[in-house]
């Protein structure tokens, strides 16, 4: 281990020295907030005479004085490179109109690229972007990953802020940064790297849980491995995390720590898992710690791989889950599902069907009762048997009452306006009635709204128009307000423009507009619920007929666990 106190200029000022960020490290992650802190700190420093200290960086020596892997400090080094590119670009633009006392070609040679030696090589999947945007200073590169977006955005942000400053201030900033102190700790092998990185973590560095876990496992390999196997075991951990980080950069909906949490809920402590200490507790209780770590990280890699598969899947019930918004408790079931069901899409879709019913009930009821503790036993028992899973959910939900069949019917019969599942339910109802023989082609309504067929009481004091169940004063009686106005039988999907055009119109005008422009079947079928003897009257009896059709004839059956026939083709 070698401690080298130097400056930013001293760190970079070599024609051969370059730094590589290994792919098992995380990609560039700084956002505008961190960039502003960096720049504001630098601005403060030029007001005084003290040297600025950028902190320690940990380097593993690959070739002495030539090639180093960055173990810790990759975010700061990458930001330095981006800042130097932004500064050089802004000053080069100034040189076109004023005299700027700085040799930018030499600065680019020192900090960006010396001949063919690029001074910093980021993780492999970001190098094309980094070379184009930072090393070559191009602006037309189209980023393909979140970290590439951040690299390009960081350069743009620095340029935007630097162009606001006078040239003499830019030169002072450049000089201050070059003379900024930095300590490079050079380590000779993976064993020393694992030990030092774990010590760094214990000093409270702001790392993700995945980074903390990686360094912890590498350190445990250092502690428990036989001397002759230490380096190879540490290398094993770094190689698996290398594969995991390649996947992380492709994820769009979940963070690395999200997936880690869901994996540990699936396999470590169920939903009671909270933090890395829970993993440490299980590891320390194991007899063969080396094997336990290897098994854990291989399973973790599999979970990341399967979450990536999930993100790219378009199975029908998975798309439904996305429309409902997938709560966190679903992902551990998905992780275990992929493990036991493999690539069997029919079985996976049946798993998603079961989970769609679970989530629909959860969203519909919106109870304060603790659902997660009731799911823990079901999650622990799930090993790919979908029929057992279906029955476990059915029995547990009915035993718990809160999300059981009786409670579902109770909620569907009650006040449904503003329900979190209302639009989803009505779209599913629309799909079901179109499948009964009336098909109007591809239907898409942007920002759909909920129409009260019997309109809500006008807020401007006007009376309710004709054709509705009102008293002699054209007002709703309290029983209607309590039981009918906001029930499913009186609620319908409609486009915003259509909704605005009819408002508090008489029912005769409304039903005519529904018939003239039947964008949805549920609009066209309204007339079928009306008593033929009073075709322009939308009363409680008509609402009852429609309500029974939607609730008893459709919703109760659709979101019943008995609607799933495991092993039969999935219909949606």
Tell me the per-residue pLDDT of 153-185, one tens digit each, with 9 for 90 and over: 999 999 999 999 999 999 999 999 999 999 988
524-546 average pLDDT score: 94
Tell me the per-residue pLDDT of 370-408, one tens digit each, with 9 for 90 and over: 889 899 999 999 999 999 999 999 999 999 888 999 999
Rounded to whole angstroms, the Cα distance separating 359 from 330 reads 8
Under 8 Å CB-to-CB from 259, ≥6 apart: which residues? Answer: 248, 251, 303, 304, 307, 331
Under 8 Å CB-to-CB from 264, ≥6 apart: which residues? Answer: 273, 278, 279
pLDDT at 270 over 60: yes
pLDDT band, residue 56 (cuts 50/70/90): confident
What's residue 206's pLDDT? 59
- The 10 Å Cβ neighbour count of residue 94 is 18
Tokens representing residue 566 in the block: 């495991």
Cα 103 off chain centre by: 45
What's residue 545's pLDDT? 97
403-419 average pLDDT score: 95
pLDDT at 200 over 60: no
pLDDT at 203 over 70: no
Tokens representing residue 461 in the block: 């004091």
32-38 average pLDDT score: 93
8 Å CB contact between 493 and 423? yes
Strand partners, 56: 183
What phi, psi does 445 have (nearest 5°)?
-120, 125
Which residue stretches of 95-137 are H helix?
A: 104-111, 127-130
Q: For the chain, how long is the longest CA-to-CA vector?
A: 96
Tokens representing residue 34 in the block: 């961190």
Angle between helices 146-162 and 74-94 (to 10 degrees): 40
Instruction: Write the CA distances from 42 to 190, 201, 227, 251, integer angstroms.
Output: 34, 25, 45, 34
Q: Where are the domains of the chain?
A: 2-187, 422-558
489-508 average pLDDT score: 89
- The 10 Å Cβ neighbour count of residue 202 is 11
Tell me the per-residue pLDDT of 236-261, one tens digit each, with 9 for 90 and over: 998 999 899 889 888 889 999 999 99
Mean pLDDT of the chain: 90
8 Å CB contact between 240 and 297? yes
Tell me the per-residue pLDDT of 436-462, one tens digit each, with 9 for 90 and over: 544 444 555 667 899 999 999 988 888
Kind plus residue range of the DSSP H or E element containing 295: helix 289-312
Strand partners, 60: 69, 187
Residue in the structure block whose two tokens are 């933090």 = 275
What's residue 190's pLDDT? 61
pLDDT at 314 over 70: yes
Tokens representing residue 135 in the block: 């090393």
pLDDT at 558 over 50: yes
Rounded to whole angstroms, the Cα distance separating 123 from 146 reads 13
Sign (positive or negative) of CA dihedral 8, 13, 14, 20? positive
Rounded to whole angstroms, the Cα distance separating 465 from 168 reads 74
User: Which among 141, 289, 129 is positioned nearest to 217, based on CA atoms?
Assistant: 289
């Amino acid at each position: 281990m070698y401690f080298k106190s130097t400056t930013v200029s001293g760190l970079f000022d070599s024609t051969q020295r370059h730094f590589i960020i290994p792919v098992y490290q995380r990609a560039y992650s700084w956002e505008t907030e961190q960039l502003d802190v960096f720049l504001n700190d630098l601005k403060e420093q030029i007001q005084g005479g003290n040297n600025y200290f950028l902190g320690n960086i940990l380097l593993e020596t690959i070739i002495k004085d030539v090639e180093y892997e960055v173990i810790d400090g990759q975010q700061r080094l990458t930001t330095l490179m981006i800042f130097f590119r932004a500064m050089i670009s802004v000053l080069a633009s100034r040189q076109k109109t004023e005299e700027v006392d700085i040799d930018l070609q030499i600065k680019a040679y020192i900090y960006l690229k010396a001949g063919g030696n690029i001074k910093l090589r980021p993780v492999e999947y970001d190098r094309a972007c980094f070379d184009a945007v930072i090393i070559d200073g191009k602006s037309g590169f189209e980023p393909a990953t979140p970290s590439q977006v951040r690299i390009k955005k960081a350069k743009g942000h620095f340029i935007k802020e630097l162009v606001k400053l006078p040239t003499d201030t830019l030169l002072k900033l450049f000089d201050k940064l070059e003379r900024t102190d930095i300590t490079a700790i050079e380590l000779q092998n993976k064993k020393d790297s694992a030990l030092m990185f774990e010590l760094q973590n214990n000093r409270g560095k702001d790392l993700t849980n995945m980074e903390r876990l990686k360094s912890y496992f590498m350190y445990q390999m250092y502690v428990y491995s036989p001397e002759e196997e230490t380096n190879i075991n540490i290398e094993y951990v770094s190689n698996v995390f290398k594969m995991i980080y390649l996947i992380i950069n492709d994820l769009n909906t979940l963070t690395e720590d999200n997936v880690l949490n869901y994996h540990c809920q699936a396999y470590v402590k169920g939903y009671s898992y909270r933090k890395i200490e829970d993993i440490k507790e299980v590891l320390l209780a194991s007899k063969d710690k080396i094997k336990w770590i290897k098994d854990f990280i291989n399973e973790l890699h599999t979970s990341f791989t399967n979450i990536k598969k999930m993100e790219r899947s378009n199975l029908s019930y998975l798309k439904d889950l996305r429309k409902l918004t997938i709560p966190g408790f679903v992902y551990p079931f998905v992780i275990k599902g992929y493990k036991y069901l493999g690539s069997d899409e029919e079985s996976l879709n049946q798993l998603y069907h079961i989970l769609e019913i679970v989530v629909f009930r959860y969203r519909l009821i919106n109870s304060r009762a603790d659902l997660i503790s009731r799911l823990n036993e079901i999650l622990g028992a799930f090993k790919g048997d979908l029929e057992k899973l279906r029955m476990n959910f059915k029995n547990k939900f009915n035993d718990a009452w809160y999300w059981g069949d009786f409670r579902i019917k109770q909620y569907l019969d009650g006040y449904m306006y503003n329900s979190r599942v209302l639009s989803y339910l009505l779209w599913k109802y629309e799909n079901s009635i179109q499948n009964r023989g009336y098909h109007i082609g591809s239907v898409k309504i942007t920002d759909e709204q909920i129409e009260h067929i019997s309109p809500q009481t006008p807020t401007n004091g006007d009376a309710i128009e004709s054709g509705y169940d009102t008293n002699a004063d054209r007002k709703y009686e309290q029983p209607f307000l309590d039981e009918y106005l906001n029930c499913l039988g009186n609620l319908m999907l409609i486009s915003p423009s259509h909704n605005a055009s009819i408002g508090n119109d008489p029912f005769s005008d409304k039903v005519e507009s529904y018939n003239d422009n039947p964008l949805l079947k549920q609009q066209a079928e309204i007339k079928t619920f009306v008593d033929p003897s009073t075709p322009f009257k939308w009363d409680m009896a008509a609402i009852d007929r429609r309500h029974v059709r939607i609730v008893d004839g459709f919703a109760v059956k659709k979101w019943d666990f008995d609607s799933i026939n495991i092993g039969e083709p999935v219909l949606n």
